[in-house]
Structure 1
Amino acid sequence: MNRTTYETTKKIARLVQNMTRFWSSSDGWAPIDASKLLSKSMLEWQSSLADCLEKWTGDLTQGERILAWANIGAIVEGQLKLFLAVYYEDYLNDIYAISDKRTRAIIEPDALMLEKLRVFFKSRIWMENEPWDAWLSLVQQKRNAIHAFKARNLGTTKELHDALETLLVFVRRINSQLPYPDGTYMELIECSHE
């Protein structure tokens, strides 16, 4: 595909915006508990974070790469949480739902950290031949540089730009598994393929 990194970021932003617009007001479509969780989630921040991706399309300094990886990681984490929020009832009924070790209470999707999400999705959601766990591990490792005082491998600007291409595929993958009313899914997909 011969599209620029900037065009890729615009496609991601448009798709995330449309997804969050739909799911933030899903009353009457999503089950009641899922709809309540989605309505209190800060989905508009996902849209804003997706808009910021265009800042990372040029040649980047180390500081900019750290911020870019944090940006990508936040979107990835938000997409995983969105998925679990949409399928909230299924998540609550899953015997492998993530729970607090002390209280054994199931941890709400919006309170989960990326590592726990990654492990859950690897064991319960992704098919064995899908590349998502390895890619999420890469994003997590690069994103965590924002907390580091010691040296970490930030990768190159090209590696980050490649991750943006993969992010578009990832967001499309999450979106393709969300239930929509007839026609809505196709409208969302078409906007990300324009």
Structure 2
Amino acid sequence: MNDTAARIATLIQNMMSFWKNPQGWAPIEAAELLNKSMLEWQSSLARTLGKWTGPLSDGELILAWANIGALVEGQLKLFLSAYYNDYLADAESIKNRNGTVQDPDGVTLEPLRVFFNKRIWSPEQPWNAWILQILQRRNAIHAFKAKDIGTSAELHAALRTLLLFIRDMNSMLPYPEMYGPSEYDYQR
């Protein structure tokens, strides 16, 4: 499990390092959005995943689900930011109450999940149900009444799925030819 957490952390770190400064090849609007985003926090959150690899108390489970949820949300926002111009032009883009398109950096996980399920993912991909479970469990952090927070084993399974999800999201991002972030740390 620690290897999975380390792979996730390395892949996210490599992705965020690349996307923090994509000027010169990404559209100007996308580069500006990515420059102002706190992508370094995604890397920091990913490095904390190793804390959730053993037996967990209820409080640790809630924090772990919140951690995973924040990383999933960050991946979805990164995708929309990388394809910012396409997102803005999409008739199904996420709108504010006044009907204007909402920038990816201000969207919460539930509208992101709905948009991706409707516009990005194929029905064969398992991400919608998986993210819904994460969303429900991470929201226990706001609850005063009992909510299902799962077990340590379910959380560990979600970490393994998180690696698959991040690999999939990374594979859909546009990179310059012959480049792509890896989950392996070549600097060891």
Q: Is the 8 A contact 2:10 2:182 kept in 1?
A: no
Alignment partner, residue 189 of structure 1: 182
Instruction: Provide the C-alpha distance between the structure 2 equivalents of 1:21 and 1:180, rounded to a whole number of angstroms.
Output: 13
Question: Does 1:31 pair with 2:24?
Answer: no
Alignment partner, residue 50 of structure 1: 46
Query: What is the TM-score with the length of structure 1 in the denominator?
Result: 0.93
CA drift at 1:184: 1.4
Q: Is the 8 A contact 2:11 2:183 kept in 1?
A: no
CA drift at 1:49: 0.2
Alignment of 1:5-154 (within 5 A): 5-101=1-97, 103-154=98-149
Secondary structure at the residue paired with 1:189? coil
Secondary structure at the residue paired with 2:48? helix
Secondary structure at the residue paired with 2:184? helix
Query: What is the TM-score with the length of structure 2 in the denominator?
Result: 0.96
The one-letter amino acid paired with 2:136 is: Q
Instruction: Provide the C-alpha distance between the structure 2 equivalents of 1:70 and 1:181, rounded to a whole number of angstroms.
Output: 33
Instruction: Provide the C-alpha distance between the structure 2 equivalents of 1:124 and 1:155, rounded to a whole number of angstroms.
Output: 29
Q: Is the 8 A contact 2:8 2:183 kept in 1?
A: no
Structure (1/2) with the larger helix percentage: 1
Alignment partner, residue 163 of structure 2: 168
In the alignment, structure 2 segments of 5+ residues that lack a partner are none
Sequence identity percentage: 57
CA drift at 1:30: 1.0
CA drift at 1:190: 5.9
Q: CA RMSD in A?
A: 1.2
Instruction: Provide the C-alpha distance between the structure 1 equivalents of 2:184 and 2:166, rounded to a whole number of angstroms.
Output: 13
The one-letter amino acid paired with 2:62 is: I
Instruction: Provide the C-alpha distance between the structure 1 equivalents of 2:184 and 2:87, rounded to a whole number of angstroms.
Output: 29
Instruction: Provide the C-alpha distance between the structure 2 equivalents of 1:143 and 1:172, rounded to a whole number of angstroms.
Output: 22
CA drift at 1:191: 2.2
Instruction: Provide the C-alpha distance between the structure 2 equivalents of 1:153 and 1:95, rounded to a whole number of angstroms.
Output: 35
Equivalent residue pairs, number: 186
Question: Does 1:158 pair with 2:160?
Answer: no
CA drift at 1:89: 0.2
CA drift at 1:189: 3.3
In the alignment, structure 1 segments of 5+ residues that lack a partner are none
Q: Is the 8 A contact 2:12 2:46 kept in 1?
A: yes
